[in-house]
Amino acid sequence: PLWGTGGQRMASQMVLHNDTLHLYYGSQAQDANGKSYGGLKIGLATLPRDRFVAMVPARLREEALIELVPLVYPNDQLRLNIQILPGGSVRAEVADFVGQPIEGFDKDSSVPITESGRDQPIQWQKDGATMTLDGLTKEQRRQPVRLRLWICHAHVHAIRSS
């Protein structure tokens, strides 16, 4: 009999320690007839912080699109919690309410994100300068905009505005 075959009992709380979630559980060894061996023991499963779920393209090596509903972003910086697989990248685009890309914030102006991280900034380049949402006009900042993420060989876990 293998340990852990007698069912698991999860602890009621998860513990965050150094950007790693610790999930404690109890289990025991059990044979095919349901006989338990060795008593209850404590196990530990770990998971990187904020990596429970992800948006993943159906075909990892092909470009996919995530388009968010129109929102007003109160802060200048958008950040992604992403996992980039070898050869992968994420690009961003900002479009107006009806879906037209905003000049300077289109996919081609996006600075590609090619490294994994929980706090990767979304940026664009225009006339040699790198910018965030602070490059939008005051009028554009007051209007809901659509954020589009073009992902290839990557997992998008979360987005936040800071």
* pLDDT of residue 1 exceeding 60: no
Per-residue pLDDT tens digits for 6-59: 777 888 888 999 989 999 988 888 887 878 777 788 889 898 888 888 999 888
Predicted pLDDT at 84: 96
Residues in CB range of 94: below 8 A, 6 or more apart: 101, 102, 105, 133, 136, 145, 146, 147, 148
3 state SS of 113: strand
CB 160 within 8 A of CB 78: yes
Predicted pLDDT at 133: 94
* pLDDT of residue 156 exceeding 60: yes
Predicted pLDDT at 70: 95
The DSSP annotation for 12-38 comes to S--EEETTEEEEEEEEEEE-TT--EEE
Predicted pLDDT at 3: 65
DSSP 104: T
Predicted pLDDT at 59: 86
Q: What amino acid is encoded at 73 in this protein?
A: Y
The mean pLDDT of 64-92, rounded to a whole number, is 94
Per-residue pLDDT tens digits for 90-148: 999 999 999 999 999 999 999 999 999 999 999 999 888 999 999 999 999 999 999 99
CB 63 within 8 A of CB 69: no
pTM of the model as a whole: 0.76
Cα(156)–Cα(138) distance, integer angstroms: 29
Predicted pLDDT at 143: 94
